[in-house]
Amino acid sequence: MPRDYYEVLGVARDADGKVIKKAYRKLAMKHHPDRNPDNPEAEAKFKEASEAYEVLSSDEKRRVYDQYGHDGLKGRGFDPNFTDMGDIFSAFSGMFGDLFGGGGRGRGRGQSRGPRAGADLEYPLNLDFMEAAHGCSKEITVHRHAHCGGCSGSGLKPGATESGCETCGGQGQVIQAQGFLRIRTHCPACRGTGRHVDPADRCDDCSGSGRERATEELTVTIPAGVDRGMQLRLVGKGEVGDPGAPAGNLFVTIDVEPHSLFKREGVETVCTVPVPYPVMVLGGEITVPTIHGEEQLDVPRGTDSGKVFTLRGKGIPRVNGRGPAGDHHIQLVVDVPKKLSERAEELLRELAEEQGAEGSVQDRGFWQKLFG
């Protein structure tokens, strides 16, 4: 005759569910097979406590037990006689995980299941400045594992069929017993795929793997406005997975080459334009470059060298049109000619004289004051 369940757990007959659970956890912790390897006495105690908890934690079974005792349970098919430790773990799954602070050996987390998805791939793509700004279409060559052409990825010879793996019953996982513990792991017979293919039925081209090395030409549409470091995702263009599992993705990582004239900060563009001295002084209209073509700009009279003018919306478009395009900033600097015609030189000297500039430039005293 089994011991009284209340006695086993060491609780009063009117103990509530919380108290019962606490008592069981304490006992289970103490006699857990993980902590008492090869100790039949601890195993028996663990089992006894688990049976008591199985009954007392259920309102219905507890009522039957209170009224009719062990025989009453048997009569109603409630006999909680666990035949193996695995039953205990599966009956109270979730309880043992937190019992050992999540560190319980191999139970619960981290199991991988079934056929594996394909790996992601990355393709670095260099664009010139204008391609990135305006968008473009690019042919890229990708080396990857694709579905085998001979079997379309099934890994089977034409006409051959596969069956479920016998070792794991097609689950892809097996439960391995380690001492009293049961550990769920990848089925070694089918490597987690759950399939069984007779070696004679395997595709000759890929030896049953369902995949082959492939070189593929892909056309990538680059949206206007992409910038260095952005990634485009081509869904399903990574490595193919196991039969039945999705392929990985291909990530195209953008790099953008610098431009000789334009600089870029996000969606804003900047360029520096040399302007003849008389235009800066007297004002006038000039032609300035933008990434979209030429624009006219009014230079006001008396513009300082280094002054920046902004053309709204003449910068880089936002990717996928999310918001207005950026601005284009034009910095005007005085164009200092390295070569002068005789006439120009004559006029400049005359101007210098008029302004008294010649004298001041040659006045060494000014520079001495400045640099000590």
Nearest distance in Å: CB 190, Zn ion: 3
Toward Zn ion, which CB reaches closer, 165 or 280?
Answer: 165
Toward Zn ion, which CB reaches closer, 60 or 198?
Answer: 198
Toward Zn ion, which CB reaches closer, 81 or 207?
Answer: 207
Nearest distance in Å: CB 194, Zn ion: 6
Toward Zn ion, which CB reaches closer, 115 or 248?
Answer: 115
Nearest distance in Å: CB 243, Zn ion: 10
183's tokens: 């550990």
Q: Are 221 and 126 in contact (CB under 8 A)?
A: no
Toward Zn ion, which CB reaches closer, 202 or 237?
Answer: 202
Q: How far apart are CA 318 and CA 255, in angstroms?
A: 17
The residue ranges that bind Zn ion (CB under 5 A) are 148, 150-151, 165, 167-168, 187, 189-190, 203, 205-206
Nearest distance in Å: CB 186, Zn ion: 8
Toward Zn ion, which CB reaches closer, 43 or 162?
Answer: 162
Nearest distance in Å: CB 196, Zn ion: 7
Nearest distance in Å: CB 215, Zn ion: 17
Toward Zn ion, which CB reaches closer, 36 or 167?
Answer: 167
Nearest distance in Å: CB 290, Zn ion: 54
